[in-house]
Structure 1
Amino acid sequence: MDHEKVNILLVDDQPAKLLAYEVILKELGENLVVASSGREALEVLLKTEIAVILVDVCMPELDGFELAAMIREHPRFQKTAMIFISAIQVSDIDRLRGYEMGAVDYVPVPVIPEVLRAKVKVFAELYRKTRELERLNQDLEDRVRARTAELENSTAKLRESEERRTMAIAAGKMGSWDWDWLSGDWMWDDGQYRIFGVSPENFEVNPVNVQALLHPDDVDQLRKAIAEFNKGTRAYETEFRIVRPDGEVRWCVGTAAASADASGRVVRVSGVTVDITERKRAEERQNLLAREVDHRAKNALALAQSIVRLTRADEVKAYVNAVEGRINALARVHTILSLSSWQGAELSKLIEEELAPYSLGGQIKLAGPEVQLVPATAQTLALALHELFTNSAKYGALSTRSGRLAISWQADNDLLILTWDETGGPLVRTPKSRGFGTRSLLASVESQLGGQAQFDWRSEGLLCRLEVPLTHKSAATAAAQDKFETNSSPELQRASG
C-alpha cells in the first residue's frame, strides 16, 4: 500500500555501521538520513522533520545519552521516537537513564535485522498515523466550528454525519461521533457503531450505555476528559479499551475537540475513534519476539564463552582448531533449531550434520527411530557428538579407512540410549588420563542433561553408551543447566583443570 514516506535519522560515528543500518532498513521504503556525529544529527533535526532516530550509545564528543538530552530540550522533538543501539552490556541504571532521556527502546549488538526493522517500522507507522490523526482532527474541528454558526442544528447533524462517515471509511478502522454538550444528545456514524460492535437498531447512544461498553479499568478516562473540557481544554486524546457485547476486548485511540460559544462555554464536543487493536497485538508480538531473541542470544553467547574459556591446547593452531570445531558444532545445531522455529531438532539430523565430513566409503552406519530433542538437549548433545567424532577422526576408527563406526539409538520411557561402537581402527588402549574432550563430554551429558556416559576402551575400538532423559529434568539438573548458561558448570570447570 502506498503511503507518505517518513524520515528516519541514523546516527553513528562509524561509516560501516551506518551503511549496515541503511541496508537493513532499506526495504521499509522510508527516507533514510545519516549523521556521523551528534552535532551533525542536531543540524539535520533543525532542517528536517524526523519520525524515528536510531542512535549509537557510544560516540565521541556527544554520546547517545547526551544527544538525547539535547534533543528532548527542544519543544519540537519532545515526542520524537529514539531507539538506542548499544554494543556494550547495558545495565538497568543505563536503561533507566536512557528512558529518562527519551529513549523508547534499546537494540543490542549484534543487531538482528528483522528485529531492528520491526521496531523502526512500528514507530514509523505510529508517527505516520499520528500525523494523519492530527490533520483529520484539525479538519474536523474547523468544519464543526464553521457549520455551527451557519447552519441549523438538524441540517448540521445530517451533513456532519455523512462527511464523518466518508472520512472514517476512507481512513480505515475509524469512527466519528458528536456530543451536544447542552442537550446531551449523541450522534455516532456507522464506523463508530462498527468499532463498538453494536448497531443503531439495538443500541441507544447515551452516557450510561457508552460507559457500559468501556473497559472497567478505563472508565476514569471518560470522566477525566469531561473534567478537562469543563476546565477549558479544547482538545483531548487518549487510548482506551472497549468490551464489545460478545466479550471481545478492543484497543482504541480517541481524539476529541470542543466547540465553545461567544462566552467561552462548551456547546459541542466532536471526535474520532480509531481501532488500534491490530497495532497493539503487533507490538505485543514484537516485544515477545525481542525478548525471545534476546534470551536465545544470551544462551548461545554463554555456551560460546564457556567453550573459549575451557578449551585447552599446547599450540595456538590446535587451540584455534578446537575452538572453531566446537563453535561450528554449536552453529550447526542452532541452524537446525531455527528451521523448526526453536521447537526442537531430530537426533538423526544432528548426527548427519556432524558426520558429513567423515562419511566416506560406507564407514559409518546409523540405526534408530525418529527422536525429537528439545532445544536445550539438542545443543548439549550436539557438542557431545562433536567431541566423539573429533576424537575418532584423530585417534579412532575414523582415522583410518579400515575403521568402522556404528551409531544406534532407541527411546525407552522418555530415556534416550545412544550407542557409539568403533571397530577396525588402530589398536586402542585405555588412556591413563581423560583428555579435555572426554571430560567435557562427561560433564555436559551428566551435569547439563542429567544423564550418564559410559566408556569401554576395547582393544578393537571404543564403545560408548550415552543415556539422556528426553523430557523431564530434576530441579538439581535444571539448576545446573542455568548455572552453565551463565558461568559454565563446576564439573566442566574441573574438566579444564
Structure 2
Amino acid sequence: MDQEKVNILLVDDQPAKLLAYEVILKDLGENLVIASSGREALEVLLKTEIAVILVDVCMPELDGFELAAMIREHPRFQKTAMIFISAIQVSDIDRLRGYEMGAVDYVPVPVVPEVLRAKIKVFAELYRKTRELERLNHELEDRVRARTAELEASTAKLRESEQRRSMAIAAGKMGSWDWDWISGDWMWDEGQYRIFGVSPEDFEVTPGSVQALLHPDDVDQLRKAIAEFNKGTRAYETEFRIVRPDGEVRWCVGTAAATTDESGRVVRVSGVTVDITERKRAEERQNLLAREVDHRAKNALALAQSIVRLTRADEVKAYVNAVEGRINALARVHTILSLSSWQGAELSRLIDEELAPYSLGGQIKLAGPEVQLVPATAQTLALALHELFTNSAKYGALSTRSGRLAIDWQVDAERLTLSWEESGGPLVKTPKSRGFGTRSLLASIESQLGGQAQFDWRAEGLLCRLEVPLTRKSATTAPGKFDTAGAAELQRASG
C-alpha cells in the first residue's frame, strides 16, 4: 500500500530559489507547499499540517530566526522539524542561535541536491512514523475507555438485576447484609462471609469485628456512612477495601439503604457488597499498558532522533546506510523484546540477529551460556554489537574471507563479561581518534549501564572486552521503561 504523503513547506522570498528547491525535492514524492515570506508561511502553518519546514535565513520583514521563534511559540509546532538554508557564512554564534530557535539542521548555499533530499527524507519519515505511533496510542486509549465503560455497565446491571445478584452470590462475588440500627445486631448471608474470607462458625459479626476487617485507610468510609444516615440520607454507595484474615486485600463496592419508622427515624440498614477486585486489577493492567506503550514510543523516537542527528558521514550514501543500520539494530531488539512481552532477551538471540545480514560461513565462533538480559541492557548491547559488527565488516576480520571472529561470554557474580576477538584480517593500526560508533559504544556501556569497554588494537586483529553488571538499577528497569538518558549519552559521545 502506498504511504500517505506529507507536506513540506518551502519558505524563501526569491522565486528562483523556490523553483530550485521544488526541482530538487520533486523526486521524494511528497507534497511541496510554497511560501514567499515569513507571514505567508505562518498562514500556511495555521491551515495545513506540515512535516518539515525549509526556510531561508535572510528574508525581509521576518528573517529565518524570527520566523522560527514565532513558530515555536505555537503549541502545535513545538516539535516541527525546521532546516535553515543560508547563503552567507554562518558563525557558531548564529548557528547556536538557530538551534535555540528550534532548527534541527543547516544547509549551506550552494545546495547539494543529494544532501538536501537525504535530510528532508529522514525528517519526513520520522514525522510519518511519529503520526503512526500517535494513532496507535489513541486507538489503545479508546479501547481502554471502551473496556472501562463495559465494566462499569456490567457492574450497574449486576446491582439492578436480582437474577444476576443470585448468580453472583453463588459464585462468591456478592453478599448481602442487614443491620438493626436500634439493637446493633448484624446479619450476613453466605456470600458476605465468603467475600470477607471468614466463616460463620469462627466470626462474630459486630461493628468492631467488621471495622477490623476494613483497610485502615478506608475505615472513615464506614464512619461517614453512619453520619450520613443520621443526617437523614436514605441510600449510600461507596468503594472500599477489606483485608482478609490471611492478609489478602480485596476491593468491594457497597450499597446500603435505610428503613425508617413513622417518625422518620432510621431503624434498619440493609445492603449489598460486591467484590470488584478483578475489575480493579483489569483497570490497573489497562492503565499500565497504556502508560508503557506511550513511554516506549516516546523513548524509541528520542533515540531514533539522536541517531539521525548525531551520525556523521562524508557522503550521503554512507550517512543513510549508517542511520538505517543503527535504527534497524534498534528495531530488531525491539521485535525480540515484544515477542517476550518486554520481559527480556537472550544474548545469543541478539548476536544471531546481528549476524543475519552477513553470509560468513565458518568465520565466526560463538561460545557462552544462556543469559537473559533485561530490556534496557538488551537495547544497549544490541546497539554496541551492531557497531562492532559494522566496523569489522568494513575494516576488520569480517572484511576478508581469511578473517576469523571469536565471541565468547560468561557470567560471574551477576556480571556479564563478553570478549570479541578478531584475527586473520587486514593489518590493524591503532586509530588516531575514536569515531562516533566507538564513542557511542563507550558512552552506552559505561555511563548507561555502569560497565566497562576495553579496546586492544592488536596488529593481528581487534580485541574488545565488554563488562556489564546484570543487577545495576538502571539495567533492571521495568518492562518498557527504557532509560531516556541514552539519548543524552549519545549527545555527549558525539562531542
Taking structure 2 as the reference length, what is the TM-score of the superposition?
A: 0.59
Q: Do the aligned partners of 2:140 and 2:290 also contact (CA within 8 Å) in 1?
A: no
Structure 1 residue 48, shift from structure 2 partner: 33
Q: Do the aligned partners of 1:358 and 1:398 also contact (CA within 8 Å) in 2?
A: no
Q: Do the aligned partners of 2:375 and 2:477 also contact (CA within 8 Å) in 1?
A: no
Aligned positions, number: 495
Cα distance, 1:29–1:496 mapped onto 2, change above 3 Å = closer
Deviation larger for 153-162 or 319-328: 153-162
Deviation larger for 6-15 or 273-282: 6-15
Q: Do the aligned partners of 2:449 and 2:472 also contact (CA within 8 Å) in 1?
A: no
Structure 1 residue 26, shift from structure 2 partner: 40
Deviation larger for 154-163 or 222-231: 154-163
Cα deviations by residue, 1:397-429 (Å, 9 ceiling, x for unpaired): 323334332223344555444333333434444
Mapped partners of 1:484, 1:150: distance in 2: 32
Mapped partners of 2:293, 2:151: distance in 1: 59
Cα distance, 1:382–1:230 mapped onto 2, change above 3 Å = same
**What's 1:117 paired with?**
117
The 5-angstrom pairing of residues 289-300 of structure 1 reads 289-300=289-300
Cα deviations by residue, 1:172-223 (Å, 9 ceiling, x for unpaired): 6111223344454443322223223334444444434433433343333223
Mapped partners of 2:359, 2:326: distance in 1: 19
Structure 1 residue 20, shift from structure 2 partner: 39
Q: Do the aligned partners of 1:343 and 1:375 also contact (CA within 8 Å) in 2?
A: yes
Deviation larger for 417-426 or 161-170: 161-170
Mapped partners of 2:174, 2:118: distance in 1: 24
Structure 1 residue 235, shift from structure 2 partner: 1.1
Mapped partners of 1:403, 1:51: distance in 2: 45
Deviation larger for 139-148 or 308-317: 139-148
Cα deviations by residue, 1:124-170 (Å, 9 ceiling, x for unpaired): 99999999999999999999999999999999999999999847536
Cα deviations by residue, 1:228-255 (Å, 9 ceiling, x for unpaired): 2222212110112333344443322111
Gaps of 5+ in 1: none
Cα distance, 1:339–1:232 mapped onto 2, change above 3 Å = same
Cα distance, 1:435–1:120 mapped onto 2, change above 3 Å = closer
Cα deviations by residue, 1:37-89 (Å, 9 ceiling, x for unpaired): 99999999999999999999999999999999999999999999999999999
Cα distance, 1:261–1:127 mapped onto 2, change above 3 Å = farther
Taking structure 1 as the reference length, what is the TM-score of the superposition?
A: 0.58
Mapped partners of 2:323, 2:150: distance in 1: 82
Structure 1 residue 317, shift from structure 2 partner: 3.1
Deviation larger for 117-126 or 214-223: 117-126
Deviation larger for 140-149 or 410-419: 140-149
Structure 1 residue 357, shift from structure 2 partner: 1.3
Deviation larger for 464-473 or 380-389: 464-473
* DSSP 3-state at the match of 2:161: helix
Deviation larger for 242-251 or 133-142: 133-142
Deviation larger for 246-255 or 269-278: 246-255
Deviation larger for 396-405 or 44-53: 44-53
Cα distance, 1:313–1:290 mapped onto 2, change above 3 Å = same
Mapped partners of 1:387, 1:42: distance in 2: 42
Cα deviations by residue, 1:321-352 (Å, 9 ceiling, x for unpaired): 21121112122223333444444433222211
Mapped partners of 1:152, 1:438: distance in 2: 55
Cα distance, 1:44–1:366 mapped onto 2, change above 3 Å = closer
The 5-angstrom pairing of residues 433-452 of structure 1 reads 433-452=433-452
* DSSP 3-state at the match of 1:474: helix
Gaps of 5+ in 2: none
Of all paired residues, the percent bearing the same amino acid is 92
Structure 1 residue 392, shift from structure 2 partner: 1.9
Q: Do the aligned partners of 1:165 and 1:176 also contact (CA within 8 Å) in 2?
A: no
